Amino acid sequence: MRQATLLAGGLGFGEGPRWRDGKLWFSDIRNKQVMTVDLTGRVEPVVEVEGQPSGLGWLPDGHMLIVSMLDRRVLRIESGRLIEHADLSDIAGGPCNDMVVDMQGRAYVGNFGFDPLAFSGERVFSTAFRRNPERYYQDSDLPTATIIRVDPDGTVSVVAEELRAPNGSVITPDGRTLIVAESLDPCLTAFEIGTDGSLSNRRVWAQFSKSAPTICPDGICLDAEGAVWVADALSNDCLRVAEGGEILDRVSTGLSCVACMLGGPGRKTLFLMANKFGEDGHAQVEVIEVDVPGAGYP
CATH number at residue 49: 2.120.10.30
Angle in degrees, CA 229, 129, 206, rounded to 5: 30
Residue 166 lies in a domain: yes
The structure's pTM equals: 0.95
CB-based burial label for 35 (10 Å; 0-12, 13-18, 19+):
buried
Residue 223 lies in a domain: yes
CA 285 to chain centre: 15
Residue pair 95/88 in contact by the 8 Å Cβ criterion: no
Residue 190 lies in a domain: yes
Residue 295 lies in a domain: no
CA 89 to chain centre: 19
Number of structural domains found in the chain: 1
Per-residue pLDDT of the chain (298 residues; tens, 9 = 90+): 899 999 999 999 999 999 999 999 999 999 999 999 999 999 999 999 999 999 999 999 999 999 999 999 999 999 989 999 999 999 999 999 999 999 999 999 999 998 766 554 444 445 667 777 877 787 777 889 999 999 999 999 999 999 999 999 999 999 999 999 999 999 999 999 999 999 999 999 999 998 878 899 999 999 999 999 999 999 999 999 999 999 999 999 999 999 999 999 999 999 999 998 765 568 999 999 999 999 999 9
Residue 298 lies in a domain: no
Residue 294 lies in a domain: no
Residue 297 lies in a domain: no
The C-alpha atoms of residue 165 and residue 185 are separated, in whole angstroms, by 8
The C-alpha atoms of residue 226 and residue 223 are separated, in whole angstroms, by 6
Domain hosting 99: range is 2-289
